[in-house]
Amino acid sequence: MTDSKYFTTTKKGEIFELKSELNNDKKEKKKEAVKKVIASMTVGKDVSALFPDVVNCMQTDNLELKKLVYLYLMNYAKSQPDMAIMAVNTFVKDCEDSNPLIRALAVRTMGCIRVDKITEYLCEPLRKCLKDEDPYVRKTAAVCVAKLYDISATMVEDQGFLDQLKDLLSDSNPMVVANAVAALSEINEASQSGQPLVEMNSVTINKLLTALNECTEWGQVFILDSLANYSPKDEREAQSICERITPRLAHANAAVVLSAVKVLMKLLEMLSSDSDFCATLTKKLAPPLVTLLSSEPEVQYVALRNINLIVQKRPDILKHEMKVFFVKYNDPIYVKLEKLDIMIRLANQSNIAQVLSELKEYATEVDVDFVRKAVRAIGRCAIKVEPSAERCVSTLLDLIQTKVNYVVQEAIVVIKDIFRKYPNKYESIISTLCENLDTLDEPEARASMVWIIGEYAERIDNADELLDSFLEGFQDENAQVQLQLLTAVVKLFLKRPSDTQELVQHVLSLATQDSDNPDLRDRGFIYWRLLSTDPAAAKEVVLADKPLISEETDLLEPTLLDELICHISSLASVYHKPPTAFVEGRGAGVRKSLPNRSAGSGAGSNSDQPEPGAGSEAMVIPNQESLIGDLLSMDINTPAMPAAPTTTSNVDLLGGGLDILLGGPANDAAAPAAGGGASSLLGDIFGLAGNSLSVGVQIPKVTWLPAEKGKGLEIQGTFSRRNGEIFMDMTLTNKAMQPMTNFAIQLNKNSFGLSPSAPLQATPLPPNQSTEVSLALGTTGPIQRMEPLNNLQVAVKNNIDIFYFACLVHGNVLFAEDGQLDKRVFLNTWKEIPAANELQYSLSGVIGTTDGIASKMTTNNIFTIAKRNVEGQDMLYQSLKLTNNIWVLLELKLQPGNPDATLSLKSRSVEVANIIFAAYEAIIRSP
């Protein structure tokens, strides 16, 4: 008979009956009663009243009964902590039982019971079990250490369990090693300090590689994940590790294969790209990835998401495997779309004919979403592989002739992109596109068609009639189409002013008087002002040459890609987002990144550990230089503008804010360079114009070391930033009766790695004299999290004694000069950072205009990305980068004439917020 009978009872007074059965002398009756209790507990009944009776059943040699009692204890111990203490003696006794299964069961259960009183008694049994003669007990105890760390981290560190765990890495049993590695990894993840608690070295790595061949598949995954966090000291060691890991690629378990791929992808960064070994290893990576695609659809999808990352990083690995990504008729849609994406990434001149033939087939499928993606893919091929552009356009025209509505609309969207990539090359097909004007009903397709008509108005005889037909239902159009219509009609007017004056007046009236869309109104007013005051300037702005769109459109930003490569075989690689973006409550922690090609210094250094000054490795969000351009038309959403000599995008991604883009009113901003026009105004607004040295806010000196504590030595000081370098400016005063000489200074480990760049240069100081000293500080010193973060502990030595004091580093000196983000990156990152990472702060006593404040901020390396006005409030979108490569995004809301302002901050590391808020207070109040 099955155990289902325990779930079917409907007796009244059940608790009372169970109580008597639990106290029965017969072992079988007792076991049956405990099973009934567990069944009741499983279906959600409250059987906590039976706690003392169930605990009494612990005194048994029957392993099955003991397991059931322990299961009950784990469930109810937290709600009955005082009663749970009754079980401690039995736990301790069971930890010394002759049966290893009971010893392991006891220590596992104690680790799962999250009650402080029981945790205190766990230490001694756990210490014994970690050294137990049976490997099963040792491997269970290893995992228990990680559980105990989650309950009480200080206890684990104080009791020396971490050292015992490290010793288990040398255990003779591979499963013990694997569990020790898993426990240490878990503890590292949970560590609040951000510092790895266990440093891997070449000796330890050797032991792990030895155990790798003998442990179970999940043990192998734990060990491989740990190996991924290790940076070999040189290329030879990296090669050796690669050779020993490569056999794992043939494993039957997909998790082991992907974990091995992750380690090899990381180690490839350390190998010479032109070496034979690197070429051989690259070839070996392809077959296991291809094999994963013969699994069930769910595993295929996970594999494809990971392959997508690998192909972006190293397209050579799968460049000859295009056929395996061809779509099968019975593939689920989610697999089809992923395969399609990878096909485009692998497309090149040698295989483009094959790819286009496939894509044309896909465009005749019945699945609408898949067909749309296939048509877009043809456009991406045209943009990526230039020699194929003509063939792609021909294929798209064939698809338009099918007259299938959604195919035609997608084709028009991608043809608009092709026009952007290859101007004045394929305009002969415009007449064919115009024939399909009446069938377009999707906003993006209509907007694309309107863009084409406006851009090539001089070549379309009836352009005014075509645009006029759109204006008939202007109010019913999507905002995207309305904006595009406005721009297209203005373009048409500037190209053919004589016969379109009535049309442009009509559209400007619709946009400014009849619309309640603020973006549309703003753009309409700006065009109206431009056309009425300076038509020549309007021509320069609206008809400016547009930058060519880039070859790739949806590549991940390189820094994010490197981080995701380090997370292959995890959820992050499926979501294509870093863990901080979707794991709730996870701190910024240690961000993983691939090693630099020149890396490898320091044996056993953990590659996860951010090093000061290590460039992009520790970056939270990307540099603007790494921005991949957008395939969609830049002026679908905003008007074009003249090409500027700055790196600033000509898209107003934050909506509105056109005054800043067109160099509008900026009374308090610096005067534009002569002859610079709108583009140099833009440069001034973003702090890009001029080469003069900017000096940040100067915080007055305060007393760091009073004379009574310094035996007559008084130190007053402050911090400043000059020429991109941090300085510790001090006034040393001798209030003693004897001269002071031989000055030296030392800084303790701190949150930002501040350390003296050179020895302290202070001349001998006679009594009652003062001297000014400036000490240059670098940011490559040892790092240790301080509380507060900007706390700096200092030791100053002279011929009298050594003196200690602490001071706070001003936030503004920690803002780096390269903290300006591209608008697109700013917007995308603002969206990606979870809402939990947003903080608000109220500023008071704000004086000056918005532009004046923006200029003041720029001087202090807080860069204004864009400005907009919403309901009478000026909003500045700003970015800054700290010297330890933490990026911070900000939104400053100002009300003209109101001394109060609101500052919103978003960062992956919100711990820095207080420093930023204090810096804003100081800068805003500065003269």
Which pLDDT tens digit goes with each residue over 506-531?
888 888 888 888 999 999 999 888 88
DSSP state of 384: H
Q: For the ranges 186-200, 345-359, 444-458, 743-757, which has the lowest average pLDDT?
A: 186-200
Token representation of residue 306: 């990971």
User: For position 132, what pLDDT does the model report?
Assistant: 86
Average pLDDT over residues 590-616: 45
pLDDT digits (tens, 9 = 90+) for 527-559: 888 888 888 888 888 888 777 776 655 677 788
User: For position 533, what pLDDT does the model report?
Assistant: 86
Model confidence at 680, in pLDDT bands (50, 70, 90)?
very low
User: For position 76, what pLDDT does the model report?
Assistant: 76
| Position 663 pLDDT exceeds 70 | no
User: For position 623, what pLDDT does the model report?
Assistant: 33
DSSP state of 842: E
Spatial distance between the Cα atoms of 629 and 452, rounded to a whole number of angstroms: 20
| Position 644 pLDDT exceeds 50 | no
User: For position 306, what pLDDT does the model report?
Assistant: 93
Token representation of residue 901: 């302002």
Model confidence at 59, in pLDDT bands (50, 70, 90)?
confident
pLDDT digits (tens, 9 = 90+) for 223-232: 888 888 888 8
| Position 686 pLDDT exceeds 50 | no
Average pLDDT over residues 208-215: 83
User: For position 476, what pLDDT does the model report?
Assistant: 85
Strands 901-906 and 887-894: antiparallel
**Nearest CA to 804 among 756, 728, 748?**
748
CA 179 vs. chain centroid, Å, equals 29
pLDDT digits (tens, 9 = 90+) for 476-513: 888 898 999 999 999 888 888 888 888 888 888 888 88
Considering the chain, what percentage of its residues have pLDDT values greater than 70?
A: 84
| Position 466 pLDDT exceeds 60 | yes
pLDDT digits (tens, 9 = 90+) for 394-408: 888 888 888 888 888
| Position 248 pLDDT exceeds 80 | yes
The fold of 702-812 is Immunoglobulin-like (2.60.40)
| Position 29 pLDDT exceeds 90 | no
Q: Does the structural domain 815-925 have CATH classification 3.40.50.2300? A: no
User: For position 193, what pLDDT does the model report?
Assistant: 60
User: For position 365, what pLDDT does the model report?
Assistant: 85
pLDDT digits (tens, 9 = 90+) for 361-418: 888 888 888 888 899 888 888 888 888 888 888 888 888 888 888 888 888 888 888 8
Model confidence at 462, in pLDDT bands (50, 70, 90)?
confident
Model confidence at 3, in pLDDT bands (50, 70, 90)?
low
**Nearest CA to 423 among 456, 445, 392?**
456
Q: Going by C-beta distance under 8 Å and a sequence separation of 6 or more, which residues neighbour residue 168?
A: 130, 138, 142, 176, 177, 179, 180
Average pLDDT over residues 307-333: 89
Average pLDDT over residues 624-638: 31
User: For position 628, what pLDDT does the model report?
Assistant: 27
User: For position 192, what pLDDT does the model report?
Assistant: 63
User: For position 640, what pLDDT does the model report?
Assistant: 36
pTM for this model (two decimals): 0.59
Asked if residues 381 and 349 have their Cβ atoms less than 8 Å apart, the reply is no
User: For position 554, what pLDDT does the model report?
Assistant: 66
Token representation of residue 371: 């067909």
Spatial distance between the Cα atoms of 663 and 650, rounded to a whole number of angstroms: 12
Query: Any idea which residue has 């002739």 for tokens?
Result: 401
CA 122 vs. chain centroid, Å, equals 39
User: For position 154, what pLDDT does the model report?
Assistant: 82
pLDDT digits (tens, 9 = 90+) for 718-758: 999 888 889 999 999 998 888 899 899 999 888 888 999 88
| Position 305 pLDDT exceeds 90 | yes
| Position 612 pLDDT exceeds 50 | no
**Nearest CA to 724 among 881, 618, 926?**
881
The chain-wide mean pLDDT, for the chain, equals: 79
Spatial distance between the Cα atoms of 316 and 643, rounded to a whole number of angstroms: 36
788-792 CB contacts, 8 Å cutoff, 24+ apart: 788/914, 788/915, 789/751, 789/752, 789/911, 789/912, 789/914, 789/915, 790/751, 790/752, 790/814, 790/915, 791/750, 791/751, 792/747, 792/748, 792/750, 792/754
Spatial distance between the Cα atoms of 443 and 480, rounded to a whole number of angstroms: 7
Spatial distance between the Cα atoms of 737 and 734, rounded to a whole number of angstroms: 8
Spatial distance between the Cα atoms of 334 and 339, rounded to a whole number of angstroms: 9
Spatial distance between the Cα atoms of 655 and 854, rounded to a whole number of angstroms: 19
User: For position 399, what pLDDT does the model report?
Assistant: 87
Q: For the ranges 114-123, 666-675, 692-701, which has the lowest average pLDDT?
A: 666-675
- Round to the nearest angstrom and report the end-to-end CA distance of the chain: 86
